[in-house]
Amino acid sequence: MEKRRFRAAVVVLGDIGRSPRMQYHALSLAQSANLEVDIVANGGNDPHMAVKENPSIHLHTMKSVDFQGLSKISKVMTLLLKAAMQFVILVWFLCVKIPRPDIFIVQNPPSVPTLAAVKLSSWLRQSTFVIDWHNFGYTLLSLSHGRSHAIVKLYHWFEKVFGRMADGSLCVTKAMQHELAQNWGIEATVLYDQPPDFFHPASLKEKHELLCRLETNILHPNGIWDCVSTVFAGRKDQDNGVVVPSNHSLFTAQSDSEIFLKANRPALVVSSTSWTPDEDFSILLEAAVMYDRRVAAALNEDDSVDEKQLWIDIDNGKQCLYPRLLFIITGKGPERRKYEEQIKKLNLRRVAFRTMWLSAEDYPLLLGSADLGVCLHTSSSGLDLPMKVVDMFGCGLPVCAVAFSCIEELVKVEKNGLLFSSSSELADEFMMLFKGFPGSCDTLQTLKEGAIETGASAKWSSEWETHALPLIREGILRKNR
């Protein structure tokens, strides 16, 4: 008789396509722990192809609970009703829809009702219950209600009580490990976010192919007229106004079999965001305006400069001490439209913005093709680290990040990145890093080398096998003795 293969259930009360750490857990559980894996999550964006194509990983999607049509019900009643329905749906999936798992691994936050639903399910199915602490749910809730609000205090109590009921815990920083031990009575193992193998520096060929695919989105954004959308004079067509050969992008070109980076290309800056209140995107917009004005002052340009002629001259090969900056902002979230409207009104000479959503396969390629990453994450608790920076380092991309209490566990100043506390400081960093771009940026090159070294020093698979796998094996053995 064939021995039963152990199973794990990965639980996310959210979009699995936007939960990369839980996707990596699923891959490691299947590959390194040799488990059958059931992912229970809300529908939405597709996970990475490696997750979808792994025969040992099975995705079970729940429908999101939406009460938009019940606007007459008070907010408190709506939240309670939503939590109750989510609880019932989760328990149904965890106890009926999937085979009995030997271990549950649940993402926190959200805490309500996830932790209670998984605890009940683990008791009913005699399974181990492990929490992966990404942050604290009550601190996220406090962003909109304040720490002293009754519902925030209730959420904090709920999170602590059910957090203590877990059989094991993982967390993302040493600072969070200390907080859980000292103030929550929870012993957690630190599992730092690390980039998986598909986050790596992009080859010149990969850069060229990606940037050619994105060319239409970059050159022809709706309603935007700026330093990268009004160039290529003289190459006209009937539909879009410009013709760009298939072997040509704003950044790269191909001649016969040779691919090369253009000397007059813009500097490409990438920032990924969930467009939520814990990331103040106005800091980046203000820094972009300051950069634009400071460059004009440094080059002795006054308000009479013909912007369109300047853009045509740059396209024709004119190089300046400071480059154009193209910011590509990736992600989805509630405040995206608000900031897009603000961007349209900026009227900048040497700075352009593009917002887009990329597939899980293209996102690492974009990071590997960029010159600098910007992270605006400030952490509601001050105890978690931005995974986007980890991904950037995996792709060899140096970072400018907002300074907060434990960010230096990840960003090593003047080695793989820089920190800033204001838009003015960020603008100063842009001026310093991009002076002489692309050929004479020694500091930027030093940071890039440091980012490559950081990304190569540890990968998710080795970190997971060292710190998470022993906890998983112990939990499974405990329930199967």
Rounded Cα–Cα distance for residues 100 and 91 (Å)? 12
The CATH code of domain 204-457 reads: 3.40.50.2000
Rounded Cα–Cα distance for residues 428 and 150 (Å)? 42
Encode 177-201: b = buried (16+ Cβ within 10 Å), e = exposed.
bebbeeebebebebbbbbbbeebbb
The CATH code of domain 7-194+460-479 reads: 3.40.50.2000
Domain boundaries for CATH 3.40.50.2000 within the chain: 7-194+460-479, 204-457
Q: Which uninterrupted H or E stretch holds 328?
A: strand 325-330
Per-residue pLDDT at 72: 54
Sign of the C-alpha dihedral, residues 309, 315, 320, 322? positive
**Contact criterion met (CB below 8 Å) for 353 and 329:** yes
Residue the block writes with tokens 């730092």: 192
Per-residue pLDDT at 452: 95
**Total residue count of the chain as it appears in this document:** 481
Q: Is 396 exposed, middle or buried (0-12, 13-18, 19+ CB in 10 A)?
A: buried
- pTM of the full structure: 0.86
The set of residues, in sequence order, having a beta carbon less than 8 Å from that of 206 and lying 6+ positions away, is 365, 368, 369
CA 448 to chain centroid: 19
Whose CA is closest to 246, among 220, 218, 221, 211?
211
Per-residue pLDDT at 187: 97
Per-residue pLDDT at 1: 41
Tokens of 313: 């001259």
Chunk the chain into consecutive blocks of 10 residues (it has 481) and report each block's average pLDDT, rounded to whole numbers.
79 92 96 96 90 96 73 69 93 97 96 97 97 94 87 95 97 95 97 89 94 86 74 46 64 88 93 80 94 92 76 78 94 85 87 90 95 91 89 96 91 95 97 93 95 90 95 88 69
